[in-house]
């Protein structure tokens, strides 16, 4: 499915609100064409990015006191793994659901869509933690990242894919095309000494398995990474939309002109996180942010990519999630985002 970006805007997913209804209201007000359900970490620790998607994984333990999760691989996991793979093979999406204890936003957002005019919506966006970020960020009982356990790495990849498909199926009733962001913030550390043993092809394989599972449902797949990374990895993994922090790392995308050209020519897009998710927003206006975006696109076009193609296949987002920000700062960010989107559409 080709994606027509043409200046659309959307959010990364996390909001600072404690009232899901207020978050949904802001979402439909400021990103009416590509709204997303809100992750609300200030309500409950179970809405933190890693924990929110952890239900249903075999041998996973939640330490409520420390507000942490880990895999206990010291026990006999054979039965747990057999049950897990049975659910995967049977495509038992309900088993992989995100319950209301782990997301207050999803049911309220669903109700909001059901009870309001959604004629302006062009795409419904969902988001999920990427398998590499989940695998490297979640440890076993010895505090070793579960990613390095090949058996459980496969569990993570398949579990993430099934949860993403559960979300997609939940929103099918609204008869709108869908985008799912498989977010990989940990890729900003790819190649560093901390993850020197993480192989490029393994990252591509993990991400591609989730991408292909979503493509089977005709869903566009994006990936958000809030720092610099080897952006070609995402193109090679089959991602349709690359979402990057264009405010702080705008020129980094131009380091991979051949891959970005390939992405755009095959119908993919850039989601430029041009609106900063910090108090730096207080020193910006939609006009200054758009001018910054214009420079980024001019620089990219100087690398041999047709400028009109870039403009047509560009959308805008905040540079990262807003869950840790003050409410008034987050609201400022989304209202400026809406105006930058309008300027981009005029271009």
The Cα–Cα gap between 22 and 37 comes to 12
Which domains does the chain show, CATH number per domain?
A: 20-346 (3.20.20.210)
Question: In sequence order, which ranges of 172-285 are alpha helices (DSSP H)?
Answer: 200-215, 232-236, 246-249, 257-265
Angle subtended at Cα 24 by Cα 10 and Cα 278, rounded to the nearest 5 degrees: 55
Task: Take residue 6 and report the two structure tokens written for it.
Answer: 């043409």
Rounded to two decimals, what is the model's pTM? 0.96
Backbone angles phi, psi at 39, to 5 degrees: -90, 135
pLDDT in tens, 159-207: 999 999 999 999 999 999 999 999 999 999 987 778 889 999 999 999 9
Strand-pairing partners, residue 185, are none
Strand order in the sheet with 220-225: 124-129, 178-183, 220-225, 241-244, 269-275, 314-318
DSSP 288-321: HHHHHHHHHHHHHHTTT--HHHHHHTEEEEESS-
The answer for 57, left when phi > 0, alpha when psi is -120 to 50, beta otherwise, is beta
How many residues comprise the chain? 347
> Nearest CA to 206 among 186, 192, 226?
186
pLDDT in tens, 226-267: 889 999 999 999 999 999 999 999 999 999 999 999 999 999
Whether the CB-CB separation of 268 and 241 falls below 8 Å is answered with yes
The pLDDT of residue 67 is 96
pLDDT in tens, 260-291: 999 999 999 999 999 999 999 999 999 999 99
C-alpha dihedral sign at 291, 292, 297, 302: positive
pLDDT in tens, 111-136: 999 999 999 999 999 999 999 999 99
What average pLDDT does range 50-77 have in this prediction?
96
Place of tokens 């009109």: 308
3-class DSSP assignment, residue 123: coil
């Amino acid at each position: 499915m080709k994606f027509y970006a043409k200046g659309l805007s959307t959010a990364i997913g996390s909001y600072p609100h404690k009232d899901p209804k207020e978050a949904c209201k802001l979402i439909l007000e400021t990103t009416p064409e590509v709204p997303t359900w809100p992750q609300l970490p200030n309500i409950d620790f179970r809405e933190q990015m890693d924990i929110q998607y952890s239900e249903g994984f075999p041998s996973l333990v939640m330490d409520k006191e420390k507000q942490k999760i880990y895999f206990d691989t010291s026990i006999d996991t054979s039965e747990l793994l057999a049950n897990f793979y049975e659910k995967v093979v049977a495509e038992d999406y309900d088993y992989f659901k995100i319950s209301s204890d782990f997301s207050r936003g999803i049911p309220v957002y669903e109700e909001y869509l059901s009870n309001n005019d959604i004629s302006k919506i062009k795409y419904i966006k969902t988001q999920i933690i990427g398998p590499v970020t989940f695998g490297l960020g979640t440890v076993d009982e010895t505090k070793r990242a579960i990613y390095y356990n090949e058996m459980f790495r496969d569990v993570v990849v398949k579990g993430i894919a099934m949860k993403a498909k559960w979300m997609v199926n939940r929103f099918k009733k609204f008869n709108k095309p869908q985008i799912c962001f498989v977010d990989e913030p940990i890729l900003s550390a790819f190649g560093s000494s901390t993850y020197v043993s993480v192989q490029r092809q393994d990252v591509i394989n993990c991400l591609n398995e989730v991408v292909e599972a979503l493509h089977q449902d005709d869903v566009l797949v994006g990936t958000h990474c809030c720092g610099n990374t080897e952006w070609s990895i995402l193109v090679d993994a089959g991602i349709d939309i690359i979402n990057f922090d264009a405010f702080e790392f705008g020129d980094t995308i131009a380091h991979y002109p051949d891959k970005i050209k390939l992405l755009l020519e095959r119908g993919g897009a850039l989601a430029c996180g041009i609106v900063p998710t910090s108090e730096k927003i207080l020193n910006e206006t939609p006009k200054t942010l758009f001018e910054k975006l214009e420079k980024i696109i001019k620089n990219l076009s100087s690398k041999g990519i047709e400028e009109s193609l870039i403009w047509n296949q560009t959308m805008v987002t905040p540079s990262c999630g807003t869950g840790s920000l003050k409410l008034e700062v987050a609201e400022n960010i989304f209202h400026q985002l809406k105006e930058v989107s309008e300027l981009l559409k005029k271009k």
